Amino acid sequence: MTNRILPFITLVFLSTLFSIVIGDDGVAISEQYPLVVSTWPFKEAVRAAWRAVDGNHSAVDAVVEGCSACEELRCDGTVGPGGSPDENGETTIDALIMNGVTMEVGAVAAMRFVKDGIRAAKLVMQHTKHTLLVGEKASAFAIAMGLPGPDNLSSADSIRKWSTWKENHCQPNFWKDVVPSDSCGPYHAKARIDVKEGGCSTRYLMGVAEPRSSLVGPHNHDTISMAVIDKRGHVAVGTSTNGATYKIPGRVGDGPIAGSSAYAVTDSGACVATGDGDIMMRFLPCYQVVESMRLGMEPRLAAKDAISRIARKFPDFLGAVVAINKNGVHAGACHGWTFEYSVRSPATDDVEVFTVLP
């Protein structure tokens, strides 16, 4: 090796080691892949995905390994079995997987009696020409395709939580403009009084809606949403969640909706999101992030733009997105809460947790 080449190689080596740079708002950026990014400090899930992708598995398989680890560990008590009871005390599962190369998507929503959300979503993607299966029919499909079940998805913890909520007259809840407003159902639409004023009809609704902030928070509304870029530069995303605690049975949020909780297009990048899914799914924030990056926007701006579009209409919403471009540059943005996300790349020895301030 000549003296002229050695310093060059050293430089390349050092730039690999120190590829984490601090962005101007303190968000670190690592320009490398393979890469695993996940909402929240779900470190074990990120490690599981990393083992797969570092061992040369595809981005899709790494997403399955990562989200599956979260389901087994019941991350934050809101992913996998035994979390977030609905109004009837039942736990159900929503999950999604998306292949950013082929644009194939598989998802299950309000799935009962089956613990393996992400594996069920992958079976939908691999073995059907559909995108989304729901409810008990999704459970029947998953079990017929070999997943364990039917299982009781309740835990002592979820039943305890639900009993306490029932004793508290089913407060808070997700109903609005109904009677009764201060106790358990059955609920009925509240009478509307139309008052004519100068030829215009003004509608008065009686009563005050329950603020959403009492229902949506980091410990009753969490989703693992994960993005992986594999060694070939292929991108995939996946999500798994129990949905909102005390939801009205049948409610499906952003979790299994491609473009809302997650999105991946290998030539542009990926996005993962979490928060108040009922509101976020009206804006498809992850579709917006990936599309903005396709048009040339930096990840940091793309993330901020997607969040601010929602905040303009819903100033009280809680939510966060992480934008990841095809080179592995990532940045988060959030609203209403402090958000954390986890990253594993060749630049570090273990999972790093980034904090994003609203």
Ligand X SMILES: *[C@@H]1O[C@H](CO)[C@@H](O)[C@H](O)[C@H]1NC(C)=O
Active site residues: 223
254 annotated binding-site participant:
yes
Q: Which residue, 102 or 152, is less far from ligand X as judged by CB?
A: 152
Q: Please pick, from the candidates 128, 152, 163, 168, the single residue that binds ligand X as defined by CB under 6 A.
A: 152
Query: Does the protein bind ligand X through residue 163 (CB under 6 A)?
Result: no
CA distance 342 to 84: 23
Q: Please pick, from the candidates 143, 145, 159, 301, the single residue that binds ligand X as defined by CB under 6 A.
A: 159
Sign of CA dihedral 246, 250, 255, 259: negative
Q: Please pick, from the candidates 19, 131, 154, 171, the single residue that binds ligand X as defined by CB under 6 A.
A: 154
Q: Which residue, 161 or 330, is less far from ligand X as judged by CB?
A: 161
Burial of 151 (0-12, 13-18, 19+ CB in 10 A): middle
Stretch that binds ligand X, among 153-161, 249-257, 268-276, 313-321 (CB under 6 A): 153-161
Contact flags string 42-81 toward ligand X, x per CB under 6 A: --------------x-------------------------
The CB-of-52 to ligand X minimum distance in angstroms stands at 12
Question: What is the C-alpha end-to-end distance of the chain, expressed in Å?
Answer: 51
Stretch that binds ligand X, among 155-163, 198-206, 213-221, 285-293 (CB under 6 A): 155-163
CA distance 194 to 206: 11
Cβ contacts of 4 within 8 Å, gap of 6 or more = none
Q: Which residue, 143 or 301, is less far from ligand X as judged by CB?
A: 143
Q: Which residue, 304 or 344, is less far from ligand X as judged by CB?
A: 344
CA distance 281 to 277: 6
- Other CB atoms within 10 Å distance of the CB of residue 194: 8
The CB-of-221 to ligand X minimum distance in angstroms stands at 22
Stretch that binds ligand X, among 39-47, 151-159, 173-181, 330-338 (CB under 6 A): 151-159
DSSP class of 34: S
352 touches 318 (CB < 8 A)? no
- Nearest residue to 82 (alpha-carbon basis) of 154, 162, 161, 156: 154
Query: Does the protein bind ligand X through residue 126 (CB under 6 A)?
Result: no
Q: Which residue, 148 or 207, is less far from ligand X as judged by CB?
A: 148
CA distance 78 to 116: 14
CA 138 vs CA 212, 277, 358: distances in Å: 29, 21, 37
If you count them, how many residues does the chain have? Answer: 358
The CB-of-245 to ligand X minimum distance in angstroms stands at 16
Query: Does the protein bind ligand X through residue 156 (CB under 6 A)?
Result: yes
* Binding footprint of ligand X on the chain (CB under 6 A): 56, 152, 154-156, 159
- Binding residue positions: 251-254, 274-277
- Binding residue positions for substrate: 251-254, 274-277
